[in-house]
């Protein structure tokens, strides 16, 4: 984002903030006092609450983004072209080489190949370059007060305060997306509490600026959800004429050999390997588009983001970074 665009975004944010009715800000202030009391009862220190909550106000832009998220209109090919361009593959290979030592260590410990860690990093934040410009506490407080998904965001807000209370990051540096996804790994506070690790052993889990912790946390997340070392995520295949697209579903599980017996082949018509790996057929672009046979690790990728487009992008980017 250029300096001019950043200035415009800040200006518009300020204008929107000023547009919030005084009554709403007053209601928010009263709500915030109740939340402070509850947080104190959960063990959050007064110093943390003062640093995190003093002076915060509703952010109308956050509410707008939550209520009016744009419809997803890109085709599969368009999405892949934008998310896995040649430039990102090349940058990913460079980042893999630059961080080879720490990535090798993390990969060995958690059983997640380095190329996948780099792929997630690249797709989520362009390798740490774009991590979001919203203060997480303010954004979460706005969403928790708003009411549409208040219970979910209230829980995330308390966890964010817990993270601050434990000293992992300062309030001003806890930045992320409008929805509260944080740092180079784009973890929600609940994911941070569950899976972030202090990989460099400095006493803080820092997914904002410490690559060791970013890589270790991403790998720990994937490992915890059952990543299988040595297994591929999936492969492109060709389905037989007359294949029922309703069978292209994660719930339809058969072994690779069983799919082969139904006429599923490699893209060139060659035979699939004889294997008892459990697999499903996926048609990310719907009937008539490319077909893929996906395995356990693809399902793990979906635990990170429940989008077939996203999961396909991770798999393809990882393969190309790794020279496959």
- Segment 55-80 shows an average pLDDT of 86
Interatomic CA distance for residues 130 and 208, integer angstroms: 11
| Residues sharing a CB contact under 8 Å with residue 23, sequence separation 6 or more, in sequence order | none
Question: pLDDT tens, 104-134?
Answer: 999 999 999 999 999 999 999 999 999 999 9
The CA–CA distances, whole Å, from 105 to 99, 121, 320 equal 10, 17, 21
Domain boundaries, given as residue ranges, for the chain: 3-68+132-182, 234-294
Interatomic CA distance for residues 285 and 288, integer angstroms: 8
- Segment 82-109 shows an average pLDDT of 98
Alpha helices in the chain (DSSP H): 3-19, 22-41, 46-53, 60-67, 76-83, 86-98, 100-110, 114-125, 136-146, 150-165, 189-195, 211-224, 256-261, 296-304, 308-321
Q: Give the 3-state secondary structure of residue 132.
A: coil
- Segment 163-175 shows an average pLDDT of 97
Residue entry with tokens 């356990």: 296
Q: What is the CATH number of domain 3-68+132-182?
A: 1.10.8.350
Record the pTM: 0.90
Q: Please give the pLDDT value at position 103.
A: 98
Burial of 37 per CB tally in 10 Å (0-12, 13-18, 19+):
exposed
Backbone φ and ψ of 254, nearest 5°: -140, 165
Q: Please give the pLDDT value at position 208.
A: 97
Checking if the pLDDT of 65 tops 70, the result is yes
Residue entry with tokens 């415009």: 8
Name the DSSP class of 84: S
């Amino acid at each position: 984002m250029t300096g001019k665009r950043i200035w415009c975004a800040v200006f518009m944010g300020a204008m929107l903030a000023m547009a919030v009715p005084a009554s709403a800000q007053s209601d928010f202030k009263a709500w915030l006092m109740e939340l402070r009391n509850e947080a104190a009862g959960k063990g959050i220190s007064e110093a943390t609450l003062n640093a995190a909550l003093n002076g915060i106000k509703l952010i109308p832009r956050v509410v707008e983004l939550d209520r009016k998220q744009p419809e997803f209109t890109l085709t599969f090919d368009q999405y892949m072209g934008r998310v896995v361009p040649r430039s990102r593959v090349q940058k990913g290979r460079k980042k893999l080489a630059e961080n080879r030592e720490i990535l090798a260590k993390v990969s060995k410990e958690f059983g997640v190949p380095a190329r996948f860690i780099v792929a997630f990093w690249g797709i989520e934040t362009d390798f740490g370059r774009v991590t979001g410009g919203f203060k997480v506490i303010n954004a979460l407080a706005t969403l928790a007060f708003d009411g549409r998904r208040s219970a979910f965001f209230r829980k995330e807000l308390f966890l964010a305060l817990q993270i601050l209370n434990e000293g992992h990051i300062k309030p001003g540096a806890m930045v992320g997306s409008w929805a509260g996804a944080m740092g180079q790994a784009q973890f929600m506070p609940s994911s941070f509490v569950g899976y972030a690790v202090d990989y460099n052993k400095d006493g803080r889990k820092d997914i904002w600026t410490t690559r060791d912790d970013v890589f270790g946390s991403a790998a720990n997340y994937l490992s915890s959800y059952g990543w299988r070392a040595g297994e591929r995520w999936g492969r492109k295949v060709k389905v037989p004429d007359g294949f029922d697209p309703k069978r292209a579903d994660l719930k339809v599980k058969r072994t690779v050999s069983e799919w082969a017996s139904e006429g599923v082949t490699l893209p060139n018509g060659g035979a699939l390997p004889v294997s008892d790996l459990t697999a499903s057929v996926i048609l990310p672009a719907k009937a008539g588009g490319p077909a893929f046979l996906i395995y356990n690790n693809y399902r793990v990728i979906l635990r990170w983001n429940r989008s077939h487009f996203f999961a396909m992008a991770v798999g393809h980017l990882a393969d190309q970074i790794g020279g496959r």
